[in-house]
Amino acid sequence: MNLISYAHDGRWRAGFSENAALVPVAACGVQLSACGSEARSLLEAGPDALKAAAAAARKLLASGAAGTLRLEELAVGPPVPDPDKILCLGLNYFAHVGEVSMEVPKAPILFPKFRNSLVGPADPIRLPASSREIDFEGELAVVIGRRCKDVSEQDAMSCVAGYACFNDVSARDVQFVTSQWTAGKALDTFAPMGPGMALAEDISDPQNLLLTTRVNGDVMQQASTALMMFSVAATIAFISSLMTLEPGDVIATGTPAGVGFTRRPPVYLKPGDTVEVEIERVGTIRNPVRGAVALEGSADLDSGR
């Protein structure tokens, strides 16, 4: 079962989805804050509240209760539209380190993305006018479920609320201008995420999931999360030794080999492409690629790329 965020009446609502049906969190008997998205408010209410709401939703979905919504009729966004932090790992698969000819890291390499990058599972990736080398990176994302600091690796998994597919879209010709990657990573729409948050209780082992990235149906990346250098638990322990993690925080755990810029010839995204990231038992995001669109409602720039 997935926790889904969807736009309704000017606010990000949340619900639990299974088999294309969705029960709003509001029907699950949990009191939420009026501030922020419902998904983040639910996570801030604590693991027990999430578990109780999910249990209520399962019963309502099984009974076909009135008020159930159809997923295809909703404007679905990223699972948590307003996280406090989006932290991404670089070089977390040995084969990817090899293909980019870099040194194996001694500790997790971290860089941030921000809310401007987050989009939903079917929203377009917008190619900026500032770059011509836009690349894909399929990843497993972890959503934090409780506030934690200095958590041990042994206890780290108790901090996880769930998992999602994530595409760490990257502007390579901007990213590698300096040693700091953020400029090429934090562009608008460069963090598609979804299709929802698969509940941690439904994923027994996040280190045993097959991840596949496709561009226009062609497989570009395929690897098991077992091949991560730094596991989900080790990553959470490391990050929490540096900073406090909050409910709703997103950690993208790095990409396997097969990215576009290492191919010969390179494979970069262009308007009209479709990028899919699929992770078994988590789901699939499928994002069309579009040209840049300026503010103030100006025309789409697809034809100019």
pLDDT digit string (tens) for 124-165?
999 999 999 999 999 999 999 999 999 999 999 999 999 999
pLDDT score recorded for residue 141: 99
HSE, side-chain direction, 13 A CA sphere, residue 207: 13
pLDDT score recorded for residue 164: 99
- The answer to whether the CB of 228 falls within 8 A of the CB of 92 is yes
pLDDT score recorded for residue 294: 62
Distance CA 289, CA 125 (A): 5
Neighbours of 53 (CB within 10 A): 24
The CATH number, out of the four listed (1.10.3720.10, 3.10.20.740, 3.90.850.10, 3.40.50.300), of the domain defined by the range 86-292? 3.90.850.10
pLDDT score recorded for residue 292: 83
Reduced to 3 states, what is the DSSP secondary structure of residue 268? Answer: coil
- The answer to whether the CB of 123 falls within 8 A of the CB of 78 is no
pTM across the whole model: 0.95
- The answer to whether the CB of 115 falls within 8 A of the CB of 96 is no
Which structure tokens are listed for 152? 């041990």
Q: What is the pLDDT of residues 10-42, one digit of tens each?
A: 999 999 999 999 999 999 999 898 789 999 999
pLDDT < 70 regions, the chain: 294-305
Domain extents in the chain: 2-76, 86-292
pLDDT score recorded for residue 66: 76
Q: In the beta sheet, which residues pair with residue 259?
A: none
Map tokens 């790992």 to a residue: 89
